[in-house]
Structure 1
Amino acid sequence: MNKKVAVICAYNPRNCGMYSVDLAAHQFLTGLGLEPTLFQAQYKHRPFAIHRIKHEIYHSTAQLDDFPVVLFWGDFINNPTYGANDFAHREAYWGREKSLDKSYEKWKNLFLLNNHNRHQKVFSISNNFQTLNSIASQFDAEELASVRALYAKNFDHFFPRDTLSTVLLKNFIPDQASKITTGVDSAFLLNQMKLYPELSKTQKSGTFAHLLTRSNYKNTESFIKNIRLNALEATPNQQLAKNQ
């Protein structure tokens, strides 16, 4: 049995959250007895090591030929708004493609397997499709049909990272709804206790830490206050401190 798995990861601008997503792929898949190879299509510098293993630089779908299974792992990488915006702008800005259109076509080739003679099982794992509602204003009907066709042709199953992504993706490709199942943020697959056994000796202090700066939530103070009050009701003998 061929246990090799290609794992296509997102660009990581030295972000600890993205590091945990990729590390989860390595830990989770090796724990299943598989042999993952991590790929990264965009990198500002040489990709840093994940658990002492470096990403391969992903520049052609021909690199996937020897893998029976391909996983597109985490972030927005299978989402067309990512391809037309984040991915395309980086490619053009870094001078790797001559235009945004060329950069977008490169994304379609690498992340939707356009022009690839697929023979592998292909899965989209923990992708975020929450921006699918905005694509009608950015893509014409022909391009939307092209993306839908590639989803249908080249993916065996989608496991979006959240319920909203699942709903939006099913609305976008209703004829493919049977191969869409809500997944989880892949960082949650990371076994922290296995990585850091010393955590088992850490005593709970009654401190709740939060950082919601990137979440764009309104009334975060009220939200945190409710969490604190609920926690105090559950543990009346402990005083919880709020760290920001």
Structure 2
Amino acid sequence: MPSTTVYNQAGEAVEQLELSEQVFGVAPNMAVLHQVVTAQLVNRRQGNASTKTRSEVKGGGKKPYRQKGTGRARQGSTRAPQFRHGGVVFGPRPHPYHHDVPKKMRRLAIRSVLSDKVANENLIVIKDLVLDTPRTKDMLTILSKLPSSGGKKVLMMLPQRDENVLLSTRNISNAKVQHVSSINVVELLKHDYLVMPMKTVRWIELVFGEGLSAEEASARIAEDVSASAGSEA
């Protein structure tokens, strides 16, 4: 069973966390990864590039010169494609770009990337990621003490929105923060290290391991937190 070290915000190892085999221990499927990445990049395209044909260009209603007797080729409009300011032949037209991928394939691709991060020790689990006030210097201090230091690109995935963490990270060029429900293959591959609190790991295991929806996983985590708080009291 795969496992990883859990760190605190001071960069100290506090415990060892066992990860789900079916989420963080699968063999990466490169064919599915390629298909999902291609689909995601294609679906980002707006497809609104457009040009005007000769029937859409303004002007050109009058015949430029008479049909015969000039020695020149006959022309009916100055908006024909061979003229300056004329229409465009076979130019781009607005059309949708869409490549649909089954849900099972998307989830397999995410599990493949997560497993690769664990295998290469690029997944960093932190006990909790909390800042009292938004301050970039504090976030830089935390990142410098984690194994992800060294100028590499870091993606931090949070279980819920945290304004202090967002504001503290937005001026750091090699770090990005996003909600775990926005997890996608392109962002995971784009960043060298993946930093996530333990609640995020639990959310991913519930969604991609047990097949729960995002709302059900968030509710389950909230129940676990309240239950643990009650037992401690």
Establish whether TM, by shorter chain, passes 0.5.
no
Larger Rg: 2
Greater helix fraction, Structure 1 or Structure 2: 1
Q: TM-score, normalised on structure 2?
A: 0.30
